[in-house]
């Protein structure tokens, strides 16, 4: 049985603790956090688990095989580096680190020590996203024209990263998964309304060599909680609403086409097709449980995950380019 340490039990950490605790292959040995009240609460819920405020208790424990990190982003690199150097498989919540340079260092250590390094892009384990991927790969919607993502709500405000780094990693990872293509350039615009140094509203545009296009709108200042994905193709269109408990995906048999030939402008007319709306069935499973299981499976098999360190780094490359574009008033930034 794998023994696990978990660092951070604030906002997201308890979810990791609950899901890892439910896996039969795992024993959570130690939970670490600076907040003793949070630790006391975790101890009440999981009496068999050790709690500590000292991170070195996890690093120096030779019985702990793997560590899951759910702490503020600025701590990710330092904590993960210590875990990997101590020979422990490491899971880091998104975003992976503050820079591509930090990601490269973590990936290098993990590869040298033959350790699993995964990043918490939980939407890649979401049943609805997997269903959409199946529809795209099967050619159901034809050639993808563009993808539009909206992730909006009121709060939670972060103090160390802006809204793009907080919310857009979800959407960037989803788009990369669906398209299986990396963007060649990025544009980003945004504004800081509450904290003058941290943007709370951003718009990111991703441009692809294939001609595809994707936009990501992120906000901490919207009155409604919105989690929407729209995919427009040459044959059909998909709308996904993550806030709905059922019928999250709707496939619209709608399209517009241009006549193959015409002799005069008077003959030119767009052809509009309006068909049925299909609602695919999606079996509801907790994505985080699947993500935790995937981490354990990777440790046991040695295989790379769809949320490996390399995938986490690819998201950071886009976020870094977005930050540069933001500072240059929305200028197009190339991604090497």
**Residue 113 CA: distances (Å) to CA of 16, 75, 78, 87, 88:** 25, 22, 17, 7, 9
Work out the pLDDT band at 268, boundaries 50, 70, 90. low
**How far is the C-alpha of 104 from the C-alpha of 170, rounded, in Å?**
21
What mean pLDDT is predicted for residues 125-130?
97
274: pLDDT confidence band, cut at 50, 70 and 90? confident
Q: 164: closest CA among 129, 124, 206, 123?
A: 206
CB atoms within 10 A of CB 185: 16
- Nearest of 122, 188, 124, 197 to residue 157 by alpha carbon: 197
Among candidates 277, 256, 237, which has minimal Cα distance to 146? 237
Q: What is the pLDDT of residue 254?
A: 81
Which residues face 148 on adjacent strands?
Answer: 215, 230
- The pLDDT value recorded for residue 264 is 55
Task: Determine the Cα–Cα distance for residues 315 and 283; give it in Å rounded to an integer.
Answer: 28
Report the chain's mean pLDDT, rounded to a whole number. 94
Task: Reply yes or no on whether the pLDDT at 228 is more than 70.
Answer: yes
Among 24, 86, 26, 27, which Cα is nearest to 55's? 86
From 183, 156, 159, select the one nearest 320 (Cα to Cα): 183
Give the pTM: 0.92
Beta carbons within 10 angstroms of residue 276's beta carbon: 8
Q: What is the tens place of the pLDDT at every residue in 53-112?
A: 999 999 999 999 999 999 999 999 999 999 999 999 999 999 999 999 999 999 999 999
Ramachandran quadrant class, 150 (left: phi over 0; alpha: psi -120 to 50; beta: rest): beta
CA nearest 29: which of 9, 12, 7, 5?
5
Token pair belonging to 45? 């819920």
| Range 160-183 average pLDDT | 97
Show the domains of the chain with their CATH numbers. 2-123+288-307 (3.40.50.720), 130-287+317-334 (3.30.360.10)
What confidence tens digit (pLDDT) does each residue in 287-328 have? 999 999 999 999 999 999 999 999 999 999 999 999 999 999
Q: Are 201 and 163 in contact (CB under 8 A)?
A: yes
Residues 94 and 149: their CA atoms lie apart, in Å, by 18
């Amino acid at each position: 049985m794998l023994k696990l340490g978990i660092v951070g039990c604030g906002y997201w950490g308890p979810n990791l603790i609950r899901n890892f605790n439910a896996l039969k292959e795992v024993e959570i040995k130690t939970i670490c956090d600076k907040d003793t009240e949070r630790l006391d609460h975790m101890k009440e819920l999981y009496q068999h688990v050790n709690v500590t405020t000292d991170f070195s208790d996890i690093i120096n424990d030779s019985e702990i095989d793997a560590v899951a990190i759910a702490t503020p982003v600025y701590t990710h690199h330092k904590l993960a580096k210590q875990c990997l150097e101590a020979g422990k498989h490491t899971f880091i919540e998104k975003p992976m680190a503050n820079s591509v340079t930090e990601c490269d260092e973590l990936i290098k250590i993990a590869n040298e020590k033959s350790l699993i390094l995964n990043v918490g892009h939980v939407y890649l384990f979401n049943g609805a996203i997997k269903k959409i991927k199946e529809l795209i790969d099967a050619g159901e919607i034809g050639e993808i024209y563009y993808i539009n993502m909206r992730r909006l709500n009121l709060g939670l405000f972060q103090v160390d990263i802006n809204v793009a780094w907080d919310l857009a990693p979800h959407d960037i990872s989803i788009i990369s998964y669906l398209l299986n293509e990396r963007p060649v350039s990025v544009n980003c615009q945004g504004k800081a309304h509450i904290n003058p140094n941290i943007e709370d509203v951003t718009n990111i545009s991703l441009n692809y060599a294939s001609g595809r296009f994707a936009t990501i709108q992120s906000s901490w200042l919207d009155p409604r909680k919105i989690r929407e994905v729209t995919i427009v193709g040459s044959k059909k269109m998909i709308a996904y609403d993550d806030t709905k408990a059922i019928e999250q995906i709707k496939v619209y048999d709608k399209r517009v086409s241009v006549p193959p030939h015409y002799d005069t402008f008077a003959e030119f007319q767009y052809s509009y097709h309006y068909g049925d709306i299909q609602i695919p069935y999606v079996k509801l499973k907790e994505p985080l449980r699947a993500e935790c299981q995937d981490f354990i499976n990777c440790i046991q098999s040695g295989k790379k995950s769809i949320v490996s360190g390399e995938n986490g780094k690819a998201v950071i490359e886009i976020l870094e380019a977005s930050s540069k574009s933001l500072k240059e008033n929305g200028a197009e930034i190339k991604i090497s």
